Amino acid sequence: MRMLDKERLKTALSALMEDEIANRRVRGAHFAVMQNGEPVFNGVFGEKSPGEALTPDCVYRIASMTKPVTALAFLLECAAGRLRPEDRLGDYLPEYKSMQVARPAPDGYEIVGEAQTPILMWHLLSHVSGIGCDDLGNRLFDELPAGDKRSLASVADAMSRVPLAFEPMTRSAYSATAAFDVCARVIELTSGLPYERYLRERIFEPLGMKDTTFRPSEDQWARMISMTDVDANGDFIVSDTVPGCVFESLAYPSAGGGLASTADDYVKFASFLLGDGTLPNGARLLPAGILSLMRSPQVPAVLTNETETWGLGVRVITGEKHWLYKGTFGWSGAYGTHFWVDPQNRVVAVYMRNGRNVTDLIDGTNAMIRFEKAVASSFAG
């Protein structure tokens, strides 16, 4: 195990944020880095909103960093014996037993036939199901009538009536929300609990994640960072968001992108993923070893690449030449949030920001990579 140099890390992250803010990529951000369960760096930079300094208790829209939470909920159901990764989706939602497959066409899409491969539960969490995947699948989801986006049940029902973007397990392409929403609907059926309540009682309360929610309270909305964009002159502006909605206009508890959280809460979550299933008080939430299903490669390299692939709800580094260590896992959010866990060096790193900055690939990908490289360059020796 290599140890992080605290002073080197502080210098690297401070320089990173000075550059990010000066170049109008980030208005404000929170970095939190842990190693061996101890803080190595925890700092806030910039503004929460125009003229208001960012504070450590600021709340962020974490978008697709909701996905690993859904993956953990799935593993809890597996540990309870109510689900298995290899179970067929159609055994829980019969409407998915027979699905059509489509491909893009000039006028939208065309049906190419009926799917021959059953959708398995783990496919939903690893972007190989074809449900809401790639540009076509995401467009089909976006085009659903508002009435089909009232709940996880209505979303799951609606997506069963539109074609898959490809034959399951023949491609790997991102599902922004739909596949995870379908998985969460199955969790509602197997557990007998509304998904929102399931996460609160089974994950957030046991882990002490007091500010992670689909429906922020008045106090949490008051602590929510503004959504930043830049205007034509490159100046920061506040981007409009849909009142009451954490992620875009989705008012239901979207399992693919609907959570709000704080850096402190997400550090607790990521730290749990690094462990063996025990809680901070020593109680066991999951049997030893089951978390390996989430954080180990599930999708073969032939469908992804030789550097990284998908576990359950997270990307997993598989290549030796990546700047992060092999076996590191984590994911990001569309508004610039990002985290990863490095089991080899016992590192947990969380980056919180919210923005739509067009100068930074819109989703903040460049800033995320810069954060990874800043931490990776801060090991001693």
* Structure token pair of residue 200: 């609160």
Question: pLDDT per residue over 208-255, tens digit each?
Answer: 999 999 999 999 999 999 999 888 888 889 999 999 999 999 999 999
Question: Which two structure tokens, joined as six digits, stand for 10?
Answer: 């502080």
Q: Return mean pLDDT, the chain.
A: 95
Query: Model confidence over 35-87: pLDDT tens digits?
Result: 999 999 999 999 999 999 999 999 999 999 999 999 999 999 999 999 999 99
pLDDT digits (tens, 9 = 90+) for 245-255: 999 999 999 99
Q: What residues have CB less than 8 Å from 141, skipping those under 6 apart?
A: 132, 159, 162, 176, 177, 178
The average pLDDT across 89-106 equals 97
Spatial separation of the C-alpha atoms in residues 356 and 338, rounded to whole Å: 14
**Class for domain 6-63+210-376, per CATH?**
alpha beta
Question: Which sign does the torsion angle of CA 336, 246, 296, 97 carry?
Answer: negative
Domain parsing of the chain, residue ranges: 6-63+210-376, 76-191
The pLDDT assigned to 23 comes to 84
Mean of pLDDT values over 28-32: 97
Nearest to 340 by CA among 96, 20, 65, 91: 65
What is the pTM for the complete model shown? 0.96
User: Residue 360 has what pLDDT?
Assistant: 60
Please give the Cα distance from 37 to 33 (Å, whole number).
Answer: 10
3-state SS, residue 150: coil
How high is the pLDDT of residue 357? 67
Strand partners, 339: 331, 350
85 in Cβ contact with 353 (< 8 Å)? no
Find the mean pLDDT for residues 285-304.
94
Q: Residue 287: which of 69, 74, 75 has the closest Cα?
A: 75
Q: How confident is the model at residue 365 (pLDDT cuts 50, 70, 90)?
A: low
**277-307 as b/e: b if 16+ CB within 10 A:** beeeeeeebbeeebbebbbebbbeeebbeee
Question: Residue 358 — very low, low, confident or very high, per pLDDT cuts 50/70/90?
Answer: very low
